[in-house]
Homo-oligomer: A and B are copies of this chain.
């Protein structure tokens, strides 16, 4: 590991805008995240995001109807842990700050920042801030401040606190991607000289969260006098407890700053061991790739009770909700870098099955489960069903992810305890939701009035992605019933899955209709998409993107225009099923009508471009994807990172450049390294083996670093790697 590649500092950025940087430099550990809020800003009432810590509020509709989601769920705004209040001897406050240096060391998880602070008299001092978050010590955060004289040389008074319930202003917004509900919490706190502990409680969900602030040096939290004669350091420890219904023993043991720091360092050492990645020729893209991975590890819930929200723990956009992103982008990433996280993300879904069964019935399907499109607690929280509940495909996405995780790990215990039920209940939903229709004498199973991944097209029939995924979902029942049988499991009986049902579902698999347009020789996004007029791109000024902020949904929906990969997303998932010439046509066709207004799009286009060996398009899509947040190219990184795309950029490398795909019994690779790179190397896990894949312009090498071995297919040849045969290289002929 080259140290420099793992260090992100201000040099990286053209745009050093504070609101964007607070997101980018956020630290987290799956349980909570701390945005890199300017520490000299007492009035800020946000900046700490606790995974799954949310409140509810009634959704008001202009016009309400049966079965609408009834409550908003919104991640609670907890004030920043980073703020500090500093006064000079004469009482003037150092309330201006200028950031001079900022370095995130991704190899250790330690963030170091240097500020020059100024008071109203124009006097300055220097402040260095070091912060880090515990990883296995998941309830802990440490922050250290060092002060040195500037033009001001006398003593200063520092106060460290955490103030709740500052004036909360609701921001009106037309942008559905922002947080919509700001909540108040009740706080019961105990202030001591060198510590402050409290329990905050949400108003409606009644969830308690214990918080502790403690001086590391047993100094006064308020008005502590620091001499600037020599550089002076003070440290604080924050405890962010587990979310509880009743508070009990919030903090049994309080680690010291060194312990937290050491924990962070050791976590990242182990993590990178399994997932190191390097791209020659482009330090910038290399760093960006590592950054995206760093943030993914930070973002995902690890306890089976929480998941990976659309913005991770770096912001409150999308209200802290979990979407399908977790399964379709997050799970493949974690399955190959930290399978325990992937497992727990799926267990979170398992824990939502009851709510989802109820939801299926509310949507008129009396068997199976329908997962909420966006949620924290498992209940539907989408207040706009055409781009919410109508995205039924989330069910198949979850089943797909279960299957992916299993293929990557062969975790039979997981299938037994959680996976089979997830697959079966989602398959049952599809069976009840779809209907047979006879078209030109052909009896086919169809799905009506659905919205696919492309949110610029809503409420259509037979969305290709949805149908393809539902078909796969249905097919998984027999596959896993067979596996369970082989494992002598009783699970199918417990789930009341009979042979008749298996046969019936398996017949349905064959009958699911996939819309194909003969004229164009491509899969049709849905029954009507290709009949609509193409969006007038030539009349659309640049500033009118993303379209969703500048056009009425009715205007967007009536045109052939896609926000993101839809048909091509399915093509990516079912690699190799579609002939290359058709894939070429599909890429060319859909690319022309896709705005990529969704951050989930570019990486998928990049992967398909890679498979088509379109080297420039692959490279450009990858660049767009990997730099999306670091360059704030979507303009809303302020609200939080685009977490799905973080994983997308990794997939661009692994599934794109290296053409990795997961088969039932082996790991498959196809060589597609763009000509812009001379060498690329990454590590990944597969069936408990640690692999390293190296790509050069004329070869691909797979090495077994740890583990007992596995099968792999490169291009069309299958190899076996094991303790005897630890490395295989295939020379590429272009």
A residues lining the B interface (CB < 8 Å)? 59-69, 72, 173-174, 176, 180, 362-364, 382-386, 389-390, 435-437, 439, 446, 448-450, 458-459, 461, 527-528, 531-533, 548-555, 557-559
- Contact B553 A385, beta carbon cutoff 8 Å: yes
9 new A-B contacts at CB < 8 Å, known A66-B174, A66-B552, A437-B532: A61-B62, A67-B553, A67-B554, A68-B552, A364-B551, A386-B459, A437-B531, A446-B531, A448-B528
List 21 A–B pairs whose Cβ atoms lie within 8 Å, in order of A's numbering.
Answer: A59-B62, A60-B60, A60-B61, A61-B61, A61-B62, A62-B68, A63-B176, A63-B382, A65-B176, A65-B384, A66-B174, A66-B549, A67-B555, A364-B551, A385-B552, A385-B553, A448-B557, A459-B459, A459-B557, A527-B528, A527-B531
- Contact A66 B386, beta carbon cutoff 8 Å: no
Taking CB atoms, residues of chain B closer than 8 Å to A439 are 531
- Contact B528 A385, beta carbon cutoff 8 Å: no
- Contact B69 A448, beta carbon cutoff 8 Å: no
| Closest 9 pairs (CB-CB, A-B) | A62-B383, A67-B552, A435-B533, A364-B555, A449-B558, A63-B384, A448-B558, A60-B60, A59-B62
How long is the Cα–Cα vector from A59 to B64 in the complex, in angstroms?
12
Least CB separation from A172: chain B residue: B64
A572 to chain B, nearest CB (A): 27
How long is the Cα–Cα vector from A62 to B554 in the complex, in angstroms?
18
Taking CB atoms, residues of chain B closer than 8 Å to A549 are 66
Partner of A553, one of B65, B72, B383: B65
Given A61-B61, A176-B65, A364-B551: A528 and B461 within 8 A (CB)? yes
Q: How many copies of this kind of chain does the complex include?
A: 2
Taking CB atoms, residues of chain B closer than 8 Å to A385 are 552-554
How long is the Cα–Cα vector from A247 to B562 in the complex, in angstroms?
54
- Contact A533 B363, beta carbon cutoff 8 Å: no
How long is the Cα–Cα vector from A386 to B451 in the complex, in angstroms?
14
How long is the Cα–Cα vector from A176 to B66 in the complex, in angstroms?
10
- Contact A386 B384, beta carbon cutoff 8 Å: no
Partner of A552, one of B362, B450, B533, B557: B362
- Contact B548 A66, beta carbon cutoff 8 Å: yes
Taking CB atoms, residues of chain B closer than 8 Å to A436 are 533
Least CB separation from A177: chain B residue: B63
Taking CB atoms, residues of chain B closer than 8 Å to A449 are 532, 554, 557-558
Taking CB atoms, residues of chain B closer than 8 Å to A66 are 174, 548-553
A453 to chain B, nearest CB (A): 17
Taking CB atoms, residues of chain B closer than 8 Å to A68 are 62, 552
Taking CB atoms, residues of chain B closer than 8 Å to A437 are 531-533
- Contact A65 B532, beta carbon cutoff 8 Å: no
Given A532-B448, A557-B449: A173 and B65 within 8 A (CB)? no
Least CB separation from A560: chain B residue: B448
Taking CB atoms, residues of chain B closer than 8 Å to A558 are 448-450
A65 to chain B, nearest CB (A): 6
A604 to chain B, nearest CB (A): 25
- Contact A552 B176, beta carbon cutoff 8 Å: no
Given A449-B557, A552-B385: A532 and B63 within 8 A (CB)? no
Taking CB atoms, residues of chain B closer than 8 Å to A59 are 62
How long is the Cα–Cα vector from A64 to B390 in the complex, in angstroms?
17
How long is the Cα–Cα vector from A72 to B459 in the complex, in angstroms?
26
How long is the Cα–Cα vector from A176 to B65 in the complex, in angstroms?
7
Partner of A67, one of B65, B69, B450, B551: B551
Given A64-B174, A548-B66: A459 and B458 within 8 A (CB)? yes
Given A383-B61, A533-B435: A363 and B180 within 8 A (CB)? no
Least CB separation from A366: chain B residue: B539
How long is the Cα–Cα vector from A110 to B531 in the complex, in angstroms?
59
- Contact B448 A533, beta carbon cutoff 8 Å: yes
Taking CB atoms, residues of chain B closer than 8 Å to A461 are 528, 531-532
Least CB separation from A381: chain B residue: B62
- Contact B65 A69, beta carbon cutoff 8 Å: no
How long is the Cα–Cα vector from A15 to B364 in the complex, in angstroms?
34
- Contact A62 B459, beta carbon cutoff 8 Å: no
How long is the Cα–Cα vector from A435 to B551 in the complex, in angstroms?
18
How long is the Cα–Cα vector from A435 to B561 in the complex, in angstroms?
15
How long is the Cα–Cα vector from A72 to B63 in the complex, in angstroms?
10
A298 to chain B, nearest CB (A): 28
Taking CB atoms, residues of chain B closer than 8 Å to A390 are 554
How long is the Cα–Cα vector from A63 to B449 in the complex, in angstroms?
20
Least CB separation from A457: chain B residue: B449
How long is the Cα–Cα vector from A364 to B450 in the complex, in angstroms?
24
Taking CB atoms, residues of chain B closer than 8 Å to A364 are 551-552, 555
How long is the Cα–Cα vector from A69 to B553 in the complex, in angstroms?
12
Least CB separation from A462: chain B residue: B531
How long is the Cα–Cα vector from A558 to B466 in the complex, in angstroms?
15
